[in-house]
């Protein structure tokens, strides 16, 4: 049974503190108790993402954003009963309570069914020329550049392997043979690696038209030059709960205007805001796509992921944003590469 005591928080715990506790525990859930040990609610990854999208500050108490009526089980329930509830509602954790609503344990999906091998295909975009990283990429494709003792793409693959993903496609073009020679069929990492070879550049979505067949499950697509501690199962859960056709991971980006911004009504000055901070959500280069989305991608033509989302929106398909709060670094320029190397 999971060591649930380490994820107990009070209702006044701040969002910032609870994120740290959840990340350190690895359980992806926090249990909110009162002083008597009575269950008040739970805080999951989904609650956190919705709070971020709602522009809640990281100092908000968990009582404002938690699930106040979580599903629970009792210790007298069989493993099959617990598993049936988890599968019905797509839960990965269930607090175990006694007759007084006092928490006595936490059961996880991994405990009930063992280590999970996920059926979802993962596509890593590794075909770019990395021109902004010249001269480093003159003789080496960007995904094979070493960061902290190993190629960027190898670290990404190891992260997916640790989370149970066993079928990985590498979309390759520039210096493709170097990437193929390094990863082969994936035996060294205990995964199946296949290649989507772009004879000409197909953009960040076009290579998905090269699949040998249509997958049965949601696909994860990620740029092959990212360093992140994203929990990809949380992304899949969010995508499923939202009933989305396509989900885009987004990051908050702050832009400090270096001047006083003058607010006008015609020629009349209404006010002056000195060096305002503007906040935006930007594309983080990680996506979850339902299989039917592949029908919108033209075969063997240049097609970017942003174009795909625009097309889905125009066709009335549901597209949603998944806000990242985990560490994330896009190694697109020399400055970011040096930052990644220094850790």
- 204: domain CATH number? 3.90.550.10
pLDDT digits (tens, 9 = 90+) for 53-89: 888 989 999 999 999 999 998 877 877 788 888 878 8
Residues 291 and 254 in one domain: yes
Task: State both tokens at 80.
Answer: 């099959």
Same domain, 10 and 135: no
At residue 340, the pLDDT reads 66
Selection from 191, 203, 211 nearest residue 294 by Cα: 211
pLDDT at 264: 92
Confidence band of 304 (pLDDT split at 50, 70, 90): very high
- In the DSSP assignment, the letter for residue 259 is S
Confidence of residue 272 (pLDDT cuts 50, 70, 90): very high
Residue 273 DSSP code:
E
Arithmetic mean of pLDDT over the chain: 88
Q: Which of 113, 135, 160 is the last residue of a domain?
A: 113
The pLDDT tens digits for 199-240 are 888 999 999 999 999 999 999 999 998 888 888 888 998 898
Same domain, 80 and 139: no
Q: Give me the pLDDT at residue 279, please.
A: 84
Shared domain for 167 and 315, answered yes or no, is yes
- Listed residue (108, 110, 84, 97) closest to 41, CA to CA: 97
Together in a domain, 53 and 36 = yes
Q: Clarify whether residues 137 and 259 are in a common domain.
A: yes
Is the predicted pLDDT of residue 320 greater than 60, yes or no? yes
CB 246 within 8 A of CB 319: yes
* Confidence at residue 107, expressed as pLDDT on a 0 to 100 scale: 86
Question: What's the whole-model pTM score?
Answer: 0.73
Task: Please determine, for residue 290, whether its predicted confidence score (pLDDT) is greater than 60.
Answer: yes
Which of 113, 141, 175 delimits the end of a domain? 113
pLDDT at position 81 is 83
Regarding whether 122 and 74 lie in a shared domain, the answer is no
Asked if residues 170 and 121 have their Cβ atoms less than 8 Å apart, the reply is no
Output the pLDDT for position 212: 92
- Cβ(53)–Cβ(320) below 8 Å: no
Structural domain of 62: 4-113
pLDDT at 2 (0 to 100): 56
- Same domain as 186, residue 317: yes
Q: Are residues 156 and 16 in the same domain?
A: no
Number of domains within the chain: 2
Q: What pLDDT was estimated at residue 306?
A: 95
Judgement on whether residues 99 and 179 belong to the same structural domain of the protein: no
Neighbour-count burial of 152, counting CB atoms closer than 10 A to its CB (0-12 exposed, 13-18 middle, 19+ buried): buried
Handedness of CA 112, 6, 234, 187 (dihedral sign): negative
pLDDT digits (tens, 9 = 90+) for 119-175: 999 999 998 887 887 887 888 888 888 887 889 899 999 989 888 899 999 999 999
């Amino acid at each position: 049974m999971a060591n649930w005591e380490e994820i107990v928080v009070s209702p006044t715990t701040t969002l910032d503190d609870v994120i740290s506790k959840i990340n350190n525990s690895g359980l992806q859930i926090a249990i909110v108790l009162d002083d008597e040990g009575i269950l008040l609610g739970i805080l999951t990854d989904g609650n956190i993402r919705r709070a971020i999208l709602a522009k809640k500050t990281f100092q908000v108490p968990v009582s404002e954003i938690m699930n106040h009526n979580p599903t629970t089980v009792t210790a007298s329930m069989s493993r099959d009963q617990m598993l049936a509830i988890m599968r019905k509602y797509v839960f990965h954790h269930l607090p175990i309570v006694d007759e007084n609503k006092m928490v006595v344990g936490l059961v996880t999906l991994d405990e009930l069914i063992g280590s999970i091998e996920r059926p979802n295909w993962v596509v890593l975009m590794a075909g770019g020329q990395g021109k902004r990283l010249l001269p480093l990429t003159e003789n080496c494709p960007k995904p094979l550049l070493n960061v902290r003792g190993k190629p960027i793409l190898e670290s990404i693959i190891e992260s997916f392997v640790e989370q149970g993903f066993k079928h990985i496609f590498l979309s390759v073009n520039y210096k493709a043979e170097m990437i193929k020679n390094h990863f082969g069929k994936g035996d060294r990492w205990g995964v199946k690696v296949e290649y989507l070879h772009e004879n000409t550049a197909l953009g960040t979505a076009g290579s998905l038209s090269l699949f040998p067949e249509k997958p049965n499950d949601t696909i994860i697509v990620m740029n092959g030059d990212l360093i992140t501690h994203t929990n990809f199962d949380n992304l899949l859960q969010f995508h499923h709960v939202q009933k989305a056709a396509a989900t885009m991971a987004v990051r908050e980006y702050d832009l400090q205007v270096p001047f006083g911004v003058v607010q006008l009504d015609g020629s009349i000055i209404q006010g002056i805001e000195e060096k305002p901070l503007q906040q935006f959500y930007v594309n983080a280069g990680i996506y979850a796509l339902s299989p039917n989305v592949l029908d919108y991608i033209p075969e063997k033509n240049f097609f970017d992921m942003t174009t795909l989302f625009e097309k889905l929106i125009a066709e009335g398909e549901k597209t949603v944003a998944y806000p990242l709060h985990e560490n994330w670094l896009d190694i697109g320029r020399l400055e970011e590469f040096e930052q990644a190397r220094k850790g």
